Amino acid sequence: MRSHRISRRSFLGTSALVGAGLVLPPPAWPLRLARGAALRPPGSLPDPRRPAGTDSLPQIDHIVVVMMENHSYDNYLGTLGRGDGLSFGPDGTARNANPDGRGNRIRAFHMPSPCQLERAPGQNWDASHLALGTGTDTNDGFVLASGPVAMGYFTVDDIPLYHGLASVFPVCDRFFCSVLAQTYPNRRFLLAGSAGGIISTTTAALTAPEPPNGNVLEVMNTYGVSWKNYYTDLPGTGVLLDTASANREHLVSIDEFFTDAAAGTLPAVSYVDPGFEDGESEENDANVQQGEAFVARVVQAALQGPAWPRTLLIWTYDEHGGYYDHVHPPRAPVPDDVPPGIEGAPHTLPGGYDRYGFRVPAVVVSPYARRNYVSHVTHDLTSILKLIETKWNLPALTWRDANASDLLDTLDLDAEPAFLEPPALPEPGAVANPSSCTPGEPGVIPPPDAVVPDVRPRRRLSRLLG
């Protein structure tokens, strides 16, 4: 949420304090690991027959991670036409709906404009856990958690570039965020395979101790794998303040990404961040077309650069942002012995790191991408971490990344690259179908025809309301 954003200046100031030793003591609550005999342990190598640091995927030299903010799979790709999206009746109205607690159900509806409401929907720990529903697997709590806007979705008219990406390249329709919580814990999973006990985007969470098993940035340094975090106003790697502070030479301006891509000199791993403070990240209340235009520039830079034949780009989101998704997130391996710190109001609902969060959009862009492929494999943010580990045969950090998928089902590395010639993609919505809407003022939500009487048995609804 906008109220929890931390400015670049605040980040740099906080990192200096952390570098000087101002950190909070680690949480000390016990937690059993949900592991079994079939699970691989932390420290294990993707290929135990080879030494750590071995390049196991010589076809790929550059991995580019473009992670945006706060949208679910159904919210962006539910009307894509392939993959597991929203359901519609013969009259074109959505079958997916949630109760509002007032005797109505709110059907999924097309957002009236590319702009979003301010401060809604929400994806904090309590809202995300409430959205799961109680005693059901139907995700019936979104409207109760965040209001009717949670059922809104965007279409190809709003975000044509995104639908183009997901239609041409492999789309993953079982790609979950890593935890039912906000940005900071999920981005920690991306980098460390664990949230390290945090569940929110507060300053206290930002300055909390890093996950105890280290992170992939440190591991890449150890094994000589080059990396950069190209950022616009705030480096995403800042969710690990100690590590970011110690690696400032790796944190560079977004302008350098376009220069490096054009020159074919991208590092082995690139984390590419939009503007978080100006709406470019697509967090509410932004116009989502602004962020799509940013991603279009990044994708085109990769496609048209001389290193494209050896590049793999992943476009995805840190979490669902409170928007509805109909797929119930499954159980997941508990990463380590550090439990979530339930911080008190408004974060009071019980839960653990033993379940994935809701689905988010994810597309794998590479010359080696499979044509006409939809991945139904269970992925999460640690799948990106696992891909990096697989590429250089790096030791797993936690139980979560040790047992994550590595996204290689989306590639065919034994055949001639299907997309060696970069495909034509649609223009982003800001060019093809621009909107003059005002951020925070999307239009009438919910539209009247999205509100229908709730005729379900009252007993089922009462469980959702507690």
- The per-residue pLDDT for range 14-56, each reduced to its tens digit, is 333 233 322 223 333 333 334 444 789 999 999 999 999 999 9
Mean of the per-residue pLDDT values for the chain? Answer: 89
Q: Which of 27-41, 82-96, 220-234 has the lowest mean pLDDT?
A: 27-41
Asked if residue 112 has a cis previous peptide bond (ω within 30° of 0), the answer is no
CA triplet 215, 221, 226: central angle to 5 degrees?
110
User: Could you tell me what percent of the chain has a pLDDT over 90?
Assistant: 83
- Helix (H) and strand (E) counts in the chain: 15, 15
- The dihedral region occupied by 133, where left means phi > 0, alpha psi between -120 and 50, and beta the remainder, is left
Q: Each residue of 257-280: pLDDT tens digit?
A: 999 999 999 999 999 999 998 889
What sign for the dihedral angle of Cα 459, 462, 464, 466?
Answer: negative
- Domain residue spans of the chain: 56-465
Q: What is the mean pLDDT of residues 162-181?
A: 98
Model confidence at 12: pLDDT above 50: no
- Looking at per-residue confidence, does 359 or 27 come out higher? 359
CA triplet 117, 134, 122: central angle to 5 degrees?
15
Of 201, 112, 193, 194, nearest to 152 by C-alpha is 112
Question: Do 226 and 261 touch, CB atoms closer than 8 A?
Answer: no
- pTM passes above 0.75: yes
Strands annotated E in 148-248: 152-153, 171-172, 175-176, 227-231
User: What is the CB neighbour count within 10 angstroms for residue 90?
Assistant: 5
- Residue 75: band (very low, low, confident or very high) from pLDDT cuts 50, 70, 90: very high
- Residue 341: band (very low, low, confident or very high) from pLDDT cuts 50, 70, 90: confident
Q: How far apart are CA 277 and CA 6, in angstroms?
A: 8
Which pLDDT does position 7 carry in this prediction? 40
Question: Do 70 and 318 touch, CB atoms closer than 8 A?
Answer: yes
CATH dotted code for 56-465: 3.40.720.10
- Looking at per-residue confidence, does 394 or 460 come out higher? 394
Which pLDDT does position 462 carry in this prediction? 47
